[in-house]
Structure formats: structure tokens, C-alpha cells
Structure 1
Amino acid sequence: MIRIGIVYMATGYYCRFWKEFYISCETFFCIDAEKGYEVFTDSIELLKMNIPNVSFHAIKDKGWIINVSSKSDFICSISERLRQNYDYIYYLNGNFRCLKSIYSTEILPEEQNGYFAALSFQHNRYKSPNEYHYDRNKNSHAYIPFGKGKRYYQASFYGGRTDELLKFSEWSRNMINKDISNGIIARYQDESYLNCYLQDSEPLVLSDAYGYSDFTHYQGEYKAELINKNQYLGTSLLHARSLLPVSQVKLQGNLGDQMFGFAFYCYLKKFWRDGQRKTILSLLPEGRRTTDSLYGVFPIDITDDIKIVEQQCKNLPEKKIIKVTEKFSSVFYQVEDFNAPVVVFDGKWQCYQYAEACEDELRESFQFSLTHLSEQSKEILNKIRSCKCSVSVHVPANTADSYNILLQKIISDNYFERAMEQMRISLQCEPIFFFFRDECPVEELWEELFLISQCKHHIITNNSFSWWGAWLGKNTEKLVIAPKNWSFWKDTPDLLPTEWIKLPINIDKKQLNNIIGQQILKSQVTENIGLYNGKMGYVLFFFHCARFLNNIWYEEYAEELLSEIYEGIHWDLSISFSSGLCGIGWGIEYLVHHGFVAGCTDDILSELDKKVMEIDIRRIEDKSLEHGLKGITCYVSSRISSPRDIVSTLPFDPSYLNELKEACLRLNIKMTQLTSINDILKGIKTYYMKLHKGAPLWCELYCVIDKIEKM
């Protein structure tokens, strides 16, 4: 009796098909042969089963597309077992079901068929092969050019003599692995390779009668069917299971920021080199190529990536998408495996480790097209190349970013003078300095980046454009001098390569005092007494300036402003944190808590506490810090954490605190203790960023002062 082996895959939700599949095949499939089943599954329940003619093999569920792409690999892994136990091997799809008796003589191929058989739907016979869904990607090993091919074969039912089936499986495994290593997934995964393998062959054609499907409109009798997976499993569930796992890197910012995003993209591709997850780039927010964007400057094409994003996210439930937001700027992120079909990475990812790990690929991708180089740039390029010791000095032009303007004013020219002197000392030849200021038209910005990279050594500023100009320099012995304090708002431990020289930035206190004087003038004309853009914010700022500069006059002025706030408070004022009572109360609590002023806040804020408790927090739907529940929670948390005598009672009654806790749970707000001014300043900056405005200058300046204090 002929021995026939049936290869079957049951992973994830497709395990639901197994019981019905097995019963139908035992009853109707090759009833004149001895059958055995080789089942690849991730189901613990199936792996525990003991069925005489079934062998279960454990695999990991990596998503349906990766699973079916690994089908040939699975078959090859048990090749010796298949040769010893079976004369013929057939692969049957998970949704295959036998309905009537099928004899082995109906499906066994002969010598003229190359001992191979495959299902081919009849409706394709009325089409030209040029209309078939062959893989037309010339870089794919499943590629079939137009004008080639005879039929379109379905990978849901195919097989043949054991040696012939294993020969195909080995070829398919090798081709798939080569494509995956190059980041290529064939159009219809294993089915595309099956068609490529059979394009010049004459296999035994299995008609619709052996795999009826309701979408083919076949009118004849049939002995087996392919169950409609959409109806059986549900459309959304099936869509999530059939996705090719994707990691999407969202680009943001200017050209330099986008280049960092591309480096992170290359790093992820390297991490998932085994093809478990395809890494793609997103479009820029404006969705177009510009002369100052990554796609406009470099020959990088993401057309296929866009199609994949659209396909993957269509009808995909939100819970199936994992969003990874960069928590700490310029801190190396340890990538981990994810089970979700789509993972979106959102951040700037400005770490030198990503660039160094993919240096060859980045240098190949970041190639400048010099055919459009202007005559002026060509002249500068010739001068740079004629110098034995050229040094680029990048001094960004003024921008609309108040924080960067502030930094430029405070650090003055002192940093660049010291950096240039350091270059003269470190280099064995007399340096020739070339200054770049980002003042060229946008369409010529790439030329400046190119010219910077052509210099032998570099003095850069705290700017991603500047960073890449230096990094792209090809001089293996280059010296790069960069500001040690890249950002006054946050630490950036993994931004600068270890071999770069980090030069501390000295603060010009005269300039700082001038800017503080400007803030005094602004504070005198504002009528707003709130925290975000009013007198309470200025009070916090001037108290910190007084402490930092040891200036008693700033302290006295802060006290005067605080008195004006006390006089200006009225109970019709809003309860909001940004411009109302909660923000003012939080500011007073902060000042006392940190020793700027003396007093008992339980006495000072007792009336304000009562006013806050009058608000029905059970009906609040706004969860924001500025105007909603988070702001109230911030104030209440600061009051509860205020140092007080043990026997003193809390300023809020237990029933109110319970209602606040329930309201926070309802709106998913954590009742954390927010006494750090840095937490609040981050909230202020985020608020104004959403409004597409710069934060108040006192807020930006405080960040600078706070950072200097910690140096």
C-alpha cells in the first residue's frame, strides 16, 4: 500500500481548523493509501495529544506570513523522517476540508509530470499569464518576468513523490532565506516561489474539484473545499494574523534629525535580519519630497514602504499596534522582540551607536549628487581640498526657536574661540577655518552639509545638521570638537562619539543678567497672575535667579511680585493650573517647600483648598494639566506632601480624596507626587508645543540656569 505523508500547519487561531481537517481527511482523503500526518504547531494542547498516525512538531508562531515563508524550512527539518516513512508527500492548507472520497490514483503525479502535482483554479485559465499574480520584483528569487509562465498554482494543495517534494522544499528554503536576508518578502510568500519553480514544468494539475473556493465561481462538482477564513475566523482577526510583522520608524524634524531617524531604521533592520519583522520608514509629516528633506537630498526610495503601511494598518484594531515612544533623548535604546503585527517607533533616536553599527550602509545611502552643485560651492570645495588642514566651523543662524536664540546669546562667541584655539594646539599644521551659518536658501542647504563633510576637521555646535556634517567626514584622523553641554534641558549621554573632544560651554553672566533684566520689564506689564504666562511663573524664575547669581535684588523683586499676586487673587478666578488658582497654589507650596519663602501653607492656602473641594471632580472630562483634572491632582498632591506636624490633619477630607482617586482611575491619571519644578516646566513646554508656540522665555531660561547649577 502506498504511504502518503500530509504536512499541515496549525498556529494561533488556525488551530481551530485542525479537528475538522483531521476527521475529514481520515474519512475521505486517499482512502486507498496508508496516511500519516506531520503537523507543525505552537499549540500546547495539540502537542500533548497522542494520535497514532500523527506526529506533532513544535514551532514558534511568528505571524502567518513568516510562518508560511518558513514552511519549506520546516519540511526540510524532518527530511530524513519523510524519506523513511512516506512514498509521497502533500502539503494541505489549514482551511482544507475533504467532502467526498478522493483516491490516491486521482492525485498521484507520474513521470511526465515530474512527479509533482499542484492545485490550479480554473478561472485563471481565462486570463493571460501577464495578469497572473506572479512576483514581478526583479530583485526577488521568486521573480517571473512578463511573457513567462503557463499557469498559476495555489500553495494550498501541492505535493508529489517524496524526493521531488524535498527537492522543491530545499530550493524554496534557500531562495526565501536569501531574499529575507536582503529585506525582500515575495508578493505571495511561499506561493510565489512555488510558481517560479514550476513555471517551465508540467505538473499534474489539480482542478477546483480538489480545492473549491467560493471566490472562484466554480460550477462543477467538488470533493474538497477551502473554507472561507474570513467567515470562519472573522475578518479583523484574520487580518491581524496574516500580517507581515512590521516596524515603522517615523521620521521627524529637520534634515539632520531625519538622518538620525534613518540611522535608527538601519539599526532595526540589522536587529531583525532573520526576517521576523520588516522595518520600514514613514513619510515625513508633510508627505512630500523637499530639497531639505532626507528623500529630497539622498537617493532613498520608500514607495514600497508606503504600500506596506497602508496594507498593514487597514482595518487593523488599535490594540494590535504597539507604539514605542523614545523616553530619554540620546540614550541608547535596547531593542526587544514584539508580538504585535505593527510596532511604531516615535522619537529622534539621536545616538552615535546606531550610526556606528550601520556605518557602511549609511555612507552608501548618504551620497550627494554633485551634478547640481552651484558654482559658488564648487569654488569653496576647491579651496577646501587644496588645504592641508581645513576645519569646518558650524555656527547656526538665528532661528525662531526661543531656546536656541537664548543659548546663542548666553554662550556668546566664547565657545568657538576656545574651540579654535584647541584646534591650533592639537593639530600639527596651521588650520584654515571655513565658517558655515545655515544662511543659504533651503534648496542649497544640502550643499553646505556636503562642504562641511569635505573638511578634514570639525568644530560643531549643538545641532543635528552640524553633527552629521562632522560624522560624514572621511578623514580617518579627523578631530571633532563639540559642546559638552549639548542640551541644557536634558542629558544626552549617547549623542557624541567617544573619540570626539567635548568642550564645556562657559556662560556669559553679563549677557544672562541682561536677559533677566528684559524679563523684569515684561513681568511689570503683565496683568496675568497665573503660573504659565503670568506673575507666578516670573516669581519662581526670579527666586531661582537670585539663588543662582547670589543676587539679593532679584530676590526682593520676586517678593514684590508675590505680594502683587496675593493682592490680585479673587475667588472668581478659574481653578485651572495654567492661569488659575491651582497653579498659583502649587507655586506657593513649591516656594515654601524649597525654602524661598517662609510660612505655613496650611494657613496660607486654607481658603484655596476649600475652593478646590467645591469643584465636582466626578463630572470633569478634561484630563489635561493646563485646564483639567491632572492640574487639580498636581495641586492636591503637592499639598498632601507638604511637610507638616504629625498631629495636623490633611487639608482635604477623606471623601474628597476618594472621589479624586476614582476620577483619576476613570481618566487614567496617576496620582503621583509632583513637587519637581522640572515636571511642571516640561508640562508647560509640551502645552505650548501643541499650540505651535514657543514656551515663555522665563521657562526656557530657567531650564538653562537649572542645568548650569548641576554642572
Structure 2
Amino acid sequence: MLRQLSRTHILISFAFLLLFLGAVYIYSGHDISSFRVCPPCEDNPKPEVTYVSQDVVINDCPVTDSWRIRDLKMQTGLKYAQPSTQKGRTDVNSVTNWNAPLVWEGTFDPVVIDAIYKKMDPRVAVVVFAVGKYTRFLKGFLESGEKYFLVDFRVTYYIFTDHKEEVPKIELGKGRKISVVSIPSATRWQDVVLGRMKWATITIDEQIRNESDYLFMMDIDSVFHNRFGAESLSQLSAVLHRGYYKDSRSRFPYERRPESKAYIPVDEGDYYYTAAVWGGYLEEMYKLVKYCYIQSEEDAKNNIEAAWQEESHLNKYLLYNKPTKVLSPEYLWSDYDRVPEDIKVVRISQLVKNYAEVRPNGGH
């Protein structure tokens, strides 16, 4: 009986809240659509309201985890080609079966998408690890990033390294900077890979959370070749692995041992995603990075290491927590591979290198 009365009281309070918003609409001139309401529920009995400014609202609802809501607005007077409802890419699929965009060249207008996100003026973090001999790749990554990666957006490159003295001096664009994070050296490349999740989790907690709205994890042994723009931004964006985007799920290199926390049964799977580029809202990325770290630690306690380290845990997470945008292999190709006809542009590509020479344990 008391529980029923409590629910009734909550609903009545919520109704009065909506009436209050109506009054605000009448007397303040604000459009009622400019408010976001987190409705009452058992976990959050107190409804919360935040007024949306012209561009952005921070939603502090503890239940939905929807920490930032963005309206798709842009300035008036922008000139661009009219979008078609009949023409587009017909050689590739541009939408997932959960109705998220699958982004290829020719599926978006760069003028429109950049205008929308530039109006929001987000702060974007790029986390890269340059440990041991991998510092040699910093210059090429940073210089090409300044030429092609989210040009005219606010970007901070967070460089995690054990040789901070080898971080090169790069001419950066307006609103762009480098932040160096010192970390220990490693004796195995696998430990470098797994350590990424640990050190990223710690640094997001201590620093990055206060400085960024979006976060990308990227491999440093890569070079940008073409535009990598705002079409890549979403709540959680994953990139199709170039080696498996045409394969059946039975061929995906998922972790197939049930003993591992990264285990995926043979009859499950959407796509196989690379761990060399992934991004999203800061808090969504924090949840994913921390998940990979914790699951790797659990595996270690059980004396098992997932087949492809954090990439295996990443794929497990994204199978059951669908990305809101899937990026085609344009967003990470490799200089090792021929470029097929469906890849109209290579935006970033991994470099050819001697793994036995650059990896601390000789590539094994």
C-alpha cells in the first residue's frame, strides 16, 4: 500500500513539473522543446530538468547515463548540395541492422556535418601510446593529424610514453595542443597493449574528464591521408577491421575459449571491430576502456590472455552494447594491403614496419 502511494506521489509530482514547464514557456518565451526531463523511476525518484542552451545541454540524470544531448543545429545561409532520397552508395551497406549509420565516403556531406558539430564546439581528446621504439611514429602521426584530423576543431593529443624527451615539437593549429603522460616501459608488446586500458582509465579519471567531451583511442603507428572529420563523432563509434569486413562471423578472430571474459560463442557476432581506432562521448569511452581493463585483469587472475588482448574485450562489449555509429575500413586501412574498389578513400592507414625490430619482445 505504501509503495503504491509512493508511486502515485511521484507521478503527481512529475505532472506538476510538466505544468511548470508550460508556465515557463508562456512567461519566458522559451520553447518547451528546449528542456530535457529525466522522468521519475524507482532508481531516480526525483525528476530532473535542465534548460538547453542554443547548442548543448548537460543531462545529469543518474539513471540514463545520457550525459550530453546535442541538437542537430547549424547556422543559416550555409550552401551545400541538396540531399537525395533516391541516390547514394549502392555497392555497400550504409546502415546496421540496429539502424545505426555505417559511414562510407559518399554517405555524408562534409560541409553539413562539420557545420553541425562546429556549432557545438566540442573538445576532442586523442589518446595514443608511444612506448619504446614507437616514439619514431609520433612525428608522422601528429603532422598528418594536423592536416586531416578534425581540422578547425579543438583537439588535445594525449601522448602516453616512457620517453617524453622524444616527443617532437609540432606546429599545431588554433585550439590544438599536446599533453604528455609519462608511463613505465614494458618488456612485452602484449603488456603495452593491455597497459593502454589501465593507464587510459587512470588518466581519464585524473585529468582527461575535465578537459574533453569526446575521446578517441588510436594507434600511433599510423598516418592520416585524407579527411577524418565530424562524421566520425557519435556516442560510441567503432571501426570495421579491414581484414574481416566482408567475412562471415564464423571467420572472425573472436575469443572462442569460454574461460576468457572475452568469450563470444561461434553463432554470435555482428562485425569484427579494430582496437586501433575507436571513439565516442568521454563517459561512454571511459566505461568501455575501464571494461576492457577490468576484464583483462579478471582473465589474468585466471591465467588466461584473450586472443587479441583488449581488441577481444572490445568486440565482446560492442556485441552487447551496440555502437551508435559504425565507421567503414576507410577509417583504418593498412599500407600492407591493396585498396579494393569499395574503399573510395583511405583516411588513415597503419604503416609497414619491422615488428621484430620495434616491439620489445621481438614481435612475439
Instruction: Show the 5 A alignment for 1:77-92.
Output: 77-80=202-205, 81-92=207-218
Aligned to 1:133: 253
Kindly indicate whether the alpha-carbon contact (under 8 Å) linking 2:189 and 2:360 is maintained by their aligned counterparts in 1: no
From 42, 45, 56, give the equivalent of 2:180.
56
From 263, 275, 279, give the equivalent of 1:155.
275
Change in 2 beyond 3 A, CA 1:209/1:48: closer
Q: Structure 1 length as normaliser, TM-score?
A: 0.32
Instruction: Show the 5 A alignment for 1:326-365.
Output: none
User: Is 1:26–2:137 an aligned residue pair?
Assistant: no
- Output the amino acid matched with 1:57: V
From 217, 220, 224, give the equivalent of 1:98.
224
Helix, strand or coil at the partner of 2:238: strand
Of Structure 1 and Structure 2, the greater strand share is in 2
Structure 2: gaps (5+ residues): 1-120
RMSD over aligned CA atoms reads 2.2
Kindly indicate whether the alpha-carbon contact (under 8 Å) linking 1:4 and 1:88 is maintained by their aligned counterparts in 2: yes
Q: Distance in 1 between matches of 2:303 and 2:216?
A: 29
Q: Distance in 2 between matches of 1:153 and 1:205?
A: 9
User: Is 1:2–2:122 an aligned residue pair?
Assistant: yes
Change in 2 beyond 3 A, CA 1:44/1:5: closer
Helix, strand or coil at the partner of 1:56: strand
* Deviations, residues 407-466 of structure 1 (Å, cap 9, x unaligned): xxxxxxxxxxxxxxxxxxxxxxxxxxxxxxxxxxxxxxxxxxxxxxxxxxxxxxxxxxxx
Kindly indicate whether the alpha-carbon contact (under 8 Å) linking 1:123 and 1:216 is maintained by their aligned counterparts in 2: no
Q: Structure 2 length as normaliser, TM-score?
A: 0.60
Q: Distance in 1 between matches of 2:237 and 2:158?
A: 19
Instruction: Show the 5 A alignment for 1:112-261.
Output: 115-121=235-241, 124-203=244-323, 204-213=325-334, 214-215=336-337, 217-219=339-341, 220-230=343-353, 234-238=354-358, 241=361, 243=363
Q: Distance in 1 between matches of 2:310 and 2:362?
A: 13
Aligned to 2:196: 71
* Deviations, residues 466-500 of structure 1 (Å, cap 9, x unaligned): xxxxxxxxxxxxxxxxxxxxxxxxxxxxxxxxxxx
Q: Distance in 2 between matches of 1:55 and 1:34?
A: 13
Kindly indicate whether the alpha-carbon contact (under 8 Å) linking 2:124 and 2:154 is maintained by their aligned counterparts in 1: yes
Kindly indicate whether the alpha-carbon contact (under 8 Å) linking 1:135 and 1:142 is maintained by their aligned counterparts in 2: yes
Structure 1: gaps (5+ residues): 110-114, 244-311, 313-711
Q: Distance in 2 between matches of 1:21 and 1:47?
A: 12
Kindly indicate whether the alpha-carbon contact (under 8 Å) linking 2:122 and 2:154 is maintained by their aligned counterparts in 1: yes
CA-CA distance at 1:217 after TM superposition:
4.3
- Output the amino acid matched with 1:191: E
- Output the amino acid matched with 1:215: D
Helix, strand or coil at the partner of 1:124: coil
CA-CA distance at 1:74 after TM superposition:
0.9
Q: Distance in 2 between matches of 1:48 and 1:129?
A: 42
Change in 2 beyond 3 A, CA 1:8/1:235: closer
CA-CA distance at 1:128 after TM superposition:
1.6
Q: Distance in 1 between matches of 2:291 and 2:223?
A: 28
Change in 2 beyond 3 A, CA 1:46/1:123: closer
Change in 2 beyond 3 A, CA 1:44/1:126: closer
Helix, strand or coil at the partner of 1:218: coil
CA-CA distance at 1:170 after TM superposition:
1.3
Percentage of matched positions with identical amino acids: 26
Instruction: Show the 5 A alignment for 1:579-594.
Output: none
Q: Distance in 1 between matches of 2:308 and 2:239?
A: 15
Helix, strand or coil at the partner of 1:53: strand
CA-CA distance at 1:235 after TM superposition:
4.7
Q: Distance in 1 between matches of 2:338 and 2:150?
A: 25
Instruction: Show the 5 A alignment for 1:354-503.
Output: none
CA-CA distance at 1:201 after TM superposition:
3.6
Q: Distance in 1 between matches of 2:242 and 2:135?
A: 29
Kindly indicate whether the alpha-carbon contact (under 8 Å) linking 1:32 and 1:103 is maintained by their aligned counterparts in 2: no
Aligned to 1:431: none
Count of aligned residue pairs for this structure pair: 235
Helix, strand or coil at the partner of 2:277: strand
Q: Distance in 2 between matches of 1:60 and 1:229?
A: 26
CA-CA distance at 1:181 after TM superposition:
2.2
Kindly indicate whether the alpha-carbon contact (under 8 Å) linking 1:118 and 1:159 is maintained by their aligned counterparts in 2: yes
Kindly indicate whether the alpha-carbon contact (under 8 Å) linking 2:242 and 2:332 is maintained by their aligned counterparts in 1: no
Q: Distance in 1 between matches of 2:275 and 2:282?
A: 17
Kindly indicate whether the alpha-carbon contact (under 8 Å) linking 1:129 and 1:148 is maintained by their aligned counterparts in 2: yes
Q: Which has the higher contact order (CA 8 A, sep 6+)?
A: 2
* Deviations, residues 493-552 of structure 1 (Å, cap 9, x unaligned): xxxxxxxxxxxxxxxxxxxxxxxxxxxxxxxxxxxxxxxxxxxxxxxxxxxxxxxxxxxx
Kindly indicate whether the alpha-carbon contact (under 8 Å) linking 2:133 and 2:359 is maintained by their aligned counterparts in 1: no
Helix, strand or coil at the partner of 1:229: coil
Change in 2 beyond 3 A, CA 1:240/1:46: closer
Aligned to 1:450: none
